[in-house]
Structure 1
Amino acid sequence: MGLLPTIVFIVASAATTALYSALLVALHSLSEKHEVTIGQFAAAIGYGLLLALWAGAEAGFFVMRMQPPYDAIATGEEDFNSEAEGDEKRSFSEGSAVGRSEQSILGVKPSHLPALRMSAEFVAIMGYIYFCDRTTVVGKGPKYQSKTAFWAVNLAILAVAACTLRGGHGAGGSGRGALSDEHEKPLQRDQTEEWKGWMQIMFVLYHYFNETEIYNAIRMYIACYVWMTGFGNFSYYYVKKDFTAVRFAQMMWRLNFFVFFVCVTMNNEYMLYYICPMHTFFTWGVFIPLYVCHQYNDNFTVLFVKIGLTLGTALVLYDVPGVFHSVMDPFAFLLAFHDPLHPENSPMHEWFFRSGLDHLVWVFGMFCAFAFPFLDRKMRALEELPTAARNCARLALLAVTLAVTAWWYFSYFALPKRSYNVVHPYTSFVGIFTYLVLRNLTAGLRKRHLHLFAWCGKITLETYILQFHVWMRTTGLNGSPKYLMVWFPGSYWLNFLVVTAVYIFVSYRVFIITAELKDVVIPKQGGVALIWRSMLIVAVLGALYFVATLAAPALGVPLIAATIPKPP
């Protein structure tokens, strides 16, 4: 290893720690609130350790790579005259190079560098989030409520997305539908990502422009996301039959890794970002019935009974008075939300309201996944009909779908906000059914997708969370994004473009970091390795909290408990 890389490692780590400490002091002086929780202080310590470790490793291994190799060279005459010995020396030299690449500095190996780089970038992003939404440096302004601007931006994005049209491979036969081997299944990954993408764009723009007139449509979009949770998870477990702890841990990591650190860093409650607990809960809701007696999941009757029991459980939990609170109140430590704008509400009101709006649609997603093979066979048969018969069948399906949709729209969807919320849990499946039919009516529609929307669909979780803090600004602890972030006062559209570009970039980087660190943290072999890794993570987090508890008073850090935010 050598002494020099170790010295450089230590010096770089110490210098980074000093710089980080100075930045923390500066950030604290600029904060709107100077008191922090023990959790926030523990997170700050952990972030500093990660940065110090990364900087030391980068510097130490850079110096190590710059050092020339000094392999022992034999000087005996026989070593210069023997070709065999020369081959042996070359092999030894190559082996030495491999050995050097595996050398570590204070236990850190070169193979750890990618994860450390990702971790350091993540720390920088968390600092940026705090800087944008908890300091007095970044300006904030009122929202610009304009129906014209809202729809103009949406249409502009749609025009750009149209230029990214992909697909269209394959062709139907002459006079007949596509042959069996050219059949395009509905709801392929690109299509569902596209679906999530365009909905998410409208969802965040709805918040940005405060376009409250499309509230009912936003409720439908969220129902679509929850439907996909039921459909996607059921399809995976039914087809892959993978009920391993590793797979489930990966799902939980995807849903909760980022939001956990945002909650700790910003001192917000989990339910502020209600999409995360909702999808986590409904993912459990799909997993448990399919896991129980999963060896019988190939039996049609067993699966049908499981879906029926799941539906019954959801109805009892939400529609029988008293059951919800009896079951959920023990989890108030995780799911309670103290809304500073509505302090009169029960702490569990938000969880009941948000999850209750979509408490049935995820079961409909499970049913659609269950019926998918049957529907796909019918679609294949439709494509193989003669052209005239195929077109008549499509027109009939389209007419029935539009008639049902018109009835649903005028009877329920067009209701005022509060009235619609009452019927939404029991009628949202109609709108989803309509979209599924229209989007998959022909093979040509199924083969094509708008790549821009599909790309945006991959980062919906990140854009949802980050809209609170790096695109808009909240009202404070547990606050909603009621203000716009202002970098360029007096230049609304310039500000919109720049802030949006940064927002999308940061969202994408968090998406990449989450995926990369998942493979580092969750061992693919599972079993005992997963248990030990989980225990190690808990131990590290506990140690950081313990150290923060001891260090904060000694350093004079102004502390507050993780308190209920006061109403403005």
Structure 2
Amino acid sequence: MQRPTIPMPSSSNRETNVVERIFQALLAVVVFGVVYRYCWQDISDPYKCGALLNKGQWLDPGPRWSSRTPFQNWQPPGCIMHEYKKEDIQECFGKRRIVFIGDSTTRQVFWAVAKKMDQARAEGEITEMLDMDEKHHDLDFTSAGVTVQFIWDPFLNSTGLKRELKDFRPDSQLHSNEADESAGLILLGAPGLWYARHGQQNLQKDFRDSIETVIPFMDHAIQGNTRLPAARPFPFREYSPNFLLLAPVQVPWYESLSPSRAETMTPEKIDQMNDYLQQVSAHSSADVIWSYTLMTHVGRSQYEESGIHVVDNVAHRKADVLLNLRCNADAASKGYPFDRTCCSNYKQPGTAQWVILLGGMLILPTLPFLRRQHLLRLNRFLPSPSVLSALVVSGLVVSYCFYADRTQIFEKEQKQFRQREVIVAYLEVAVAGLLSIRECKSLKTNYKTAPKVKDHGFLTRDQSDEWKGWMQLVLLIYHYTHGSNILWIYQIVRLLVASYLFMTGFGHTLYFLRREDYSLRRVATVLVRLNLLSCMLPYMMRTDVVFYYFAPLVSFWFLVIYCTLKIGHTRNSNLHYLFGKIVLSALLTTAFTMIPGILELGSFFLRLTCAISWNVGEIRFRIFLDMYIVYIGMFFAALHYRATRLHSGAATPKRLIDHILKLINTYHRAFKTLTIIASLALLPGFWALTRRSPDKEDYNWWQPFISFIPILSFITLRNSHRLLRNYHSTIFASLGRYSLEICILQYHIWLAGDSTGILRLGLWSRWTETAILTPVFLWVSWRMADATQVLTSWIVDGDRAPTQSLSRGDFAASKESPPILPNVRDGESTPSKDLRFEPGDSRMGRLVGWVIRTARSDLRYRLGLILTVLWLGNVSYS
């Protein structure tokens, strides 16, 4: 008797299991890290107010990082600090006053706020003040209804100070009748420098007396003080209360002091005064902004020549710390992007978010277990195990996005461009891509070469996946390192986005010309695949579809391609007719996008009927940037398809363009040589041309008309030799197959604050945490791509959906056809055989069974049901 053979797992399966376990271990490290930090380290400062008040570091410390403008990026630990502008200040304070009381170091912060309101007028008044030698006077500055006042009081003993403290009400936001008397924000500058410079033997006692005069007005914990809130400083409220804050004594740069100042302003005096302030703040709830001291701790370059006053950038960041402490409490109510996470709390989950969280993290994960245990009578209503697993993955991924980017569980950090880090990252990516170069598996014999010589062909699937993969990595590094501020990097990235859209036009056009499949099933497959994730996230993340701009942008262009080729598709073999349709489509799309009022009318209609509010300006900007590259891809695909048919004998030349293509095929070597020479000449010429653009706005105007030059040149060079066509980078190709999920999920689980910052664990160095979070992010994207493929097939094909994963063939943007299932009419499928009614079924059970059976059997009904659910979600969510 022959022994049964035990099937052994293949090497590829073993490798996949090992990789899966590594990713799961990294995810466990992430979960443990955030739980440890959140439950132990952050319990005393959940809203990052203490971090903003007491800590921080420069991300651009000095000229060696940014020779032109250092000290612009101050980073409190674990949160994103917002740079306040005129509109933000006006929105925060309304008609309220901002009062600064102290010496010239406090006056610098006053002028920094005034410059944020109106820089030109503020600089003019500074010049006038210096010319008139009125430095020791009170100052008023009013702009946009907000009044900023400075009271000259270097010893904190003036009548102006007493008046402000008498009228100050921390909770006057709640009592409108006191709003005109109390200032919205008061910053007191500790009088240490003047006591050190002009004080006598009792200067330390005089300093303590002046501080003790104001502490009762700052101490939230004083018993029986009915004017002050009993809560600790900076409690989360829907709106911020009025704040009274104290700046520590400015530590001078002693080596730059004049001889007379250096004799009196000694380190011993300044240190004793700040030590006393530390004792006061430790034994009361008075709030001292110790981060001001850390801002000047690095070295000489933060100071002006006097050694006392700081440079303008440092003064502006002092003002931003102050404004973030006062104005960020209700930042979450302003909508996305959530880029003000210092001294701020996120909004509590709404109904839609709680439904997704409970469903994604509790209900869906338990259904597979209950199904296996046969504990549910509703098993017959559940989808197949693979679809149910895909639903579980989708729910967990969306919930992960919420907890990463809509809570304080993960830390957030501001971006900072460092050219060295960008170059190192790109070199690492290039080395990884080169080391993973392998021969393509699915080779075919070329008709022009010997039978033994194999050629993969022109712009095949492996090559396009590789292209998408390395472009996606370039985009990730661009976003992570804040390369958008560098013009030449921005220009390259804009070309990469145009390349994606070129492939969209090329791939879909080639598919339609080859398959002539203009069915509802094809349209639904592409649109569901592209938009499934970007339609789920807005309900959870309080964003909108336009925020994930790439998916709706590609969807728009797919519909343009479909309508262009669908109309009169029986004559698409006539290139003159086809090119005429493409040109007409380009003219209509340009008119639709650029004529004022058309997009606005569509947006008004969507807002009125579907409660959808989109940024029309953003839509117009995104479409215009790559207005014509999709049509270049369509032209290219039509020429390539026609040339292939002519050469294979499947078509005969009828028109002039056919004869030209036939001639090119006959003398293909000479034509290839000319195109390679032209490409090698055009690429440096294009680069020299774009370097003449002075800014982004100028380049954006040229982008739609010139982006095809480097793209076609790259395609020509990439396919110029058989070896280049037959080999590809497997790492880049693997990433390219789920680049859509990478593009969308990066906003929330790799970047932070809706891509305005980066995500951190808050436990190790930035690069250590990047090495942990990046593989987790890519793994989650890969699993989400698998799930999206399965769910797309389930939605489109109903019960006929295949049970295996479809991530190896992203047919949404491929030239190949999705799985063809015979003997089924468009829009229909075979009803489920396991959904039967039992005698004990109630009317509700029969109704549910009928709805599920109908949804499973008709694609049009499924799409209508999905659109109805989205409409109800929009209406209820708004």
**What pairs with 1:37-186 in structure 2 (closer than 5 Å)?**
37-44=350-357, 46-47=359-360, 51-52=362-363, 55-62=366-373, 105-108=377-380, 112-167=384-439, 178-179=449-450, 182-186=454-458
Partner residue in 2 for 1:534: 863
Partner residue in 1 for 2:588: 313
**What pairs with 1:522-561 in structure 2 (closer than 5 Å)?**
522-523=796-797, 525=824, 526-528=826-828, 529-538=858-867
Is residue 418 of structure 1 aligned with residue 697 of structure 2? Answer: yes
Q: Is the 8 A contact 1:488 1:494 kept in 2?
A: no
Q: Is the 8 A contact 1:270 1:334 kept in 2?
A: no
Partner residue in 1 for 2:724: 445
Distance 1:463 1:300 in 2: 37
**What pairs with 1:100-499 in structure 2 (closer than 5 Å)?**
105-108=377-380, 112-167=384-439, 178-179=449-450, 182-212=454-484, 213=486, 214-320=489-595, 324-325=599-600, 330-331=605-606, 336-337=613-614, 347-374=615-642, 390=669, 394-412=672-690, 414-415=692-693, 416-474=695-753, 480-499=754-773
Query: What are the Cα deviations for residues 253-279 of structure 1, in whole angstroms up to 9, with x where unaligned?
Result: 111100111111101011111111111
Q: Is the 8 A contact 1:472 1:484 kept in 2?
A: yes
Deviates more, 1:150-159 or 1:521-530: 521-530
Distance 1:375 1:410, change over 3 A: farther
Distance 1:394 1:535, change over 3 A: closer
Deviates more, 1:482-491 or 1:321-330: 321-330
Secondary structure of 1:141's aligned partner = strand
Distance 1:117 1:108 in 2: 16
Q: Is the 8 A contact 2:410 2:759 kept in 1?
A: yes
Deviates more, 1:314-323 or 1:441-450: 314-323
Deviates more, 1:187-196 or 1:370-379: 370-379
Counterpart residue identity of residue 356, structure 1: F
Distance 2:785 2:731 in 1: 16
Q: CA deviation at 1:315?
A: 3.0
Query: What are the Cα deviations for residues 445-468 of structure 1, in whole angstroms up to 9, with x where unaligned?
Result: 111111111111111111111111
Q: Is the 8 A contact 1:258 1:514 kept in 2?
A: yes
Counterpart residue identity of residue 446, structure 1: R
Q: Is the 8 A contact 1:194 1:457 kept in 2?
A: yes
Q: CA deviation at 1:239?
A: 0.6
Q: CA deviation at 1:487?
A: 1.1
Q: CA deviation at 1:412?
A: 3.2
Partner residue in 1 for 2:812: none
Distance 1:408 1:138, change over 3 A: same
Q: CA deviation at 1:182?
A: 4.0
Q: CA deviation at 1:532?
A: 2.3
Query: What are the Cα deviations for residues 93-133 of structure 1, in whole angstroms up to 9, with x where unaligned?
Result: xxxxxxxxxxx832437862222222122211111111110
Counterpart residue identity of residue 527, structure 1: G
Partner residue in 2 for 1:503: 777
Distance 1:223 1:329 in 2: 29
Distance 1:405 1:155 in 2: 21
CA RMSD of aligned residues (A): 3.4
Partner residue in 1 for 2:792: 518
Q: Is the 8 A contact 1:472 1:481 kept in 2?
A: yes
Compute the TM-score of the two structures, normalised by the length of structure 1. 0.73
Distance 1:360 1:192, change over 3 A: same
Distance 2:735 2:662 in 1: 30
Distance 1:197 1:334 in 2: 36
Partner residue in 1 for 2:217: none
Q: Is the 8 A contact 2:444 2:456 kept in 1?
A: no
Q: Is the 8 A contact 1:197 1:455 kept in 2?
A: yes
Counterpart residue identity of residue 438, structure 2: R
Distance 1:396 1:112, change over 3 A: closer
Q: CA deviation at 1:535?
A: 3.6
Counterpart residue identity of residue 386, structure 2: P
Q: CA deviation at 1:481?
A: 1.3
Q: Is the 8 A contact 1:179 1:384 kept in 2?
A: no
Deviates more, 1:35-44 or 1:418-427: 35-44
Distance 1:54 1:335, change over 3 A: closer
Gaps of 5+ in 1: 1-22, 65-103, 338-346, 475-479, 550-560, 563-568
Counterpart residue identity of residue 259, structure 1: S
Distance 1:499 1:231 in 2: 35
Q: CA deviation at 1:250?
A: 0.8
Distance 1:148 1:379, change over 3 A: farther
Higher radius of gyration, 1 or 2: 2
Q: Is the 8 A contact 2:603 2:613 kept in 1?
A: no
Q: CA deviation at 1:201?
A: 0.3
Distance 1:487 1:44 in 2: 22
Q: Is the 8 A contact 1:360 1:426 kept in 2?
A: yes
Bigger fraction of residues in helix: 1
Q: CA deviation at 1:42?
A: 4.5
Q: CA deviation at 1:33?
A: 2.4
Distance 1:255 1:111, change over 3 A: closer
Distance 1:384 1:444 in 2: 22
Distance 1:231 1:172, change over 3 A: closer
Compute the TM-score of the two structures, normalised by the length of structure 2. 0.49
Secondary structure of 1:449's aligned partner = strand
Q: CA deviation at 1:40?
A: 2.8
Q: How many residues align?
A: 463
Distance 2:382 2:617 in 1: 50
